[in-house]
Amino acid sequence: MKEKNCSGKLLENYLNSFSHIYIEKEILGHEVTEQILKRLPKAQRVLINNYRDIFNRPRQNYIIQKRSQKLILAKKKFDFIYPGSGLCENFGEEHFYYSSSIMNCFYECEYCYLQGMYPSGNIVIFVNLEDYFSAVDELTRDKKIYLCLSYESDLLAFENLTGFTGRWIHYARNNANVLVEIRTKSANFNAVADKEIPRNVIFAWTLSPQEVIQNYEAGAPSLEARLNSIRQAIAKGLKVRLSLEPLIMIDDLETVYKNFIHSIFAVIPPEGIRDVNIGVFRMSREHMKRISKLKKNSKVFAYEMNCVDGNVSYKQEREMKQIVYNEVIKYLEKDKVY
Amino acid sequence: MTGDMGTVLLSHNYVTEEPSPCHLSIAKNERTTNMLYIATALYIEAKPVIEYFKLKRNNEDHYFQVFHNDIIALIITGVGKVNSAIGVSHILSQHTLKEEDCIVNIGICGAGTEDAGIGRAYLINKITDHETGRDFYPDVLMRHPFEEADIETYASPVTTESNLSAKLCDMESSGFYQAASKFFSPHQIYMIKIVSDRLEGERLKEDFILELIHNNLEAIDKFLAVIAESFQKEEILQADERRMIAGVIQGLRLTEAQKNQLVKACENYKIRKDKTNSVNVLDFLKEYENLRVKTKDEGKKLFRQIIGKLSE
């Protein structure tokens, strides 16, 4: 189900996502382009000159477009790597960067900051991953960097279409100066399970209580499915990161989150966990205004918020974090909890 | 349109039939009060549409031929992208537009390739303006019964396929789209083009054009019914809840700021309780609905009481 408030009859009217693929003429024939087109043979193909002609059109409706997302295949020409945001946890890493080879996601999380960040709800895949690797080569010539790859999409969720996660794993094996993080809500570890994954690749799963997933993370895999994927990664010898964010206000919050933490550690061995970060939902006030305008019935913003230094969060932000922190440290050493 | 009208070269019989049941009217009556705008270049393209949807001429419009009923406003813009843009701007600027409204360009076009059969209707997914080289992309989000194609818009009639970059060609689409996109989002703009010729340079008979449009009208109608019902917004507060809140606002003599705060608090309360479609959540407001306070202070006190309950 794509939108809870939309009746079944209305959703039936919409074309399936990826019904259309818009392709920059320049990357016709590129290996990744061909691979994606082969996997989606029935999609209507529309040739374009520049992805911005369609992605940056004025007056697009993100919410309506999400009901039938289109793929846009393009070539990234500059800005392959960005400095990390102050709103994101850097886990003590000095040189923190992020990179986006895919823009937008096919999950529909109510709280997601991607809403309102781009002018379009469609998905752009930059097929020229080799140019990203060159940019990282350049940046890591004289320093070690921490590079998050899956902030503006969910790289692993797209793996069957793009193969990008596998290629980043391969790249990281040959560049010891890069520590990459691949964050996901997917249950798709299977797609890379046969790869030799080096220690400088961190898989990070964003987890939420099933009650939050049901109410706020439409289209995303269940908690159980994500935990199964994590177990698979740990069984392969990986130490995974758990990202318990954003913590979301929900009825009976304390019980829900305590049960949630318990259910994680009931199936995940603590020695398989590299670290955990905990963060309450927060967002810049300006961005929140944009999303509220897009989604007038958003549950996220139906609770009382506080604004500190231009960033909004729940009034009970500190208490929420404390509840979860206290529960996590029952299972993990404090120095592993951020 | 790919050429001007007049000379009769092809012979087809167009027969006016009793209009079939209108899918669009049914869809609209069931759900909405939103409007559908239709633009055609020529009267002859509009005539079957006018008859099918039983539209009436608006005699108050002195600049364009406009036809309408409760749910449709149709304008005949004249041939060419400039005329199309002017006509679209004219009709849209005369109405209070809603996010659920849509605009559709219905008309004939030429095709440079043989696989585009005469009489086949296409939904346009890309427009190229031949003179400027600019491309435009309407969103194609809804299921539809048509094939899709790109179209190239020319300033003058196209008589050769030598420089055609798209499957179809016409003289209106780029002007229509550019004007419509000043008012609407890309998912609210549609172009349905019916192939009338393969750029032979022959002039088309009126009856032939009538028949081309007429033959595709039922499919067009069904599609219009789909787009008419698919962009409806879910209102958080139901009509009777709004009436009840209006009663509270009046009875408690609330200020404009208090009124806005109350409505927002009621909406948030309903969202939090996850009962958007229920009318029961705000029932406790009924006890305030018919109160009539004598002083503003009294109203303020009760207002705080209500906000307190809505914050729970």
**A50 against B165, higher pLDDT:** A50
Q: Residue B3: is its pLDDT beyond 60?
A: no
What is the separation, in whole angstroms, between the first and last Cα of chain B? 62
Q: Residue B31: is its pLDDT beyond 60?
A: no
**Is A15–B135 a contact, with Cβ atoms under 8 angstroms apart?**
no
Q: Which of A5, A44, A301 sits opposite B148 (nearest CB)?
A: A44
Q: How many CB pairs under 8 A join A and B?
A: 87
**Is A10–B232 a contact, with Cβ atoms under 8 angstroms apart?**
yes
Tokens 């303006």 correspond to B129
Which chain B residues touch A if contact means CB-CB below 8 Å?
99, 125-126, 135, 137, 139-143, 148, 150, 181, 184-187, 226, 229-232, 234, 236, 267-269, 271-272, 274, 276, 311
Q: Which amino acid is at A251?
A: D
Q: Chain B interface, mutation test: which of A13, A120, A293, most B Cβ atoms within 10 Å?
A: A13
Q: Is the bond into B145 cis (omega within 30 degrees of 0)? A: no
Q: Nearest-CA neighbor of A274 among A203, A191, A174, A176?
A: A203
Residue B279's pLDDT is 59
Q: Nearest-CA neighbor of A258 among A325, A331, A324?
A: A324
Q: Which of A64, A297, A299 sits opposite B187 (nearest CB)?
A: A64
What is the separation, in whole angstroms, between the first and last Cα of chain A? 34
Token couple for B140: 């194609």
Q: How far apart are CA A208 and CA A195, in angstroms?
A: 27
E-strand ranges in chain A read 20-24, 44-48, 71-74, 82-83, 96-98, 102-103, 108-109, 123-126, 145-148, 178-184, 201-206, 217-218, 240-247, 273-280, 282-284, 305-308, 311-314
pLDDT tens digits, chain A, 338 residues: what are they?
334 344 445 788 999 999 999 999 999 999 999 999 999 999 999 999 999 999 999 999 999 999 999 999 999 999 999 998 766 677 777 889 999 999 999 999 999 988 888 999 999 999 999 999 999 999 999 999 999 999 889 999 999 999 999 999 999 999 999 999 999 999 999 999 999 999 999 999 999 999 999 999 999 999 999 999 999 999 999 999 999 999 999 989 999 999 999 999 999 999 999 999 999 999 999 998 888 888 878 888 888 889 999 999 999 999 999 999 999 999 999 999 99
- Whether residue A180 contacts residue A147, with contact meaning beta carbons closer than 8 Å, is answered with yes
Q: How far apart are CA A17 and CA B131, in angstroms?
A: 33
**Is A298–B135 a contact, with Cβ atoms under 8 angstroms apart?**
no
B92: distance to nearest CA of chain A, Å?
Answer: 16
Kindly state the helix (H) or strand (E) to which residue B296 belongs, with its residue range: helix B296-310
Give pTM, 2 decimals: 0.88
**Is A302–B231 a contact, with Cβ atoms under 8 angstroms apart?**
no
Q: Nearest-CA neighbor of B306 among B255, B262, B243?
A: B262
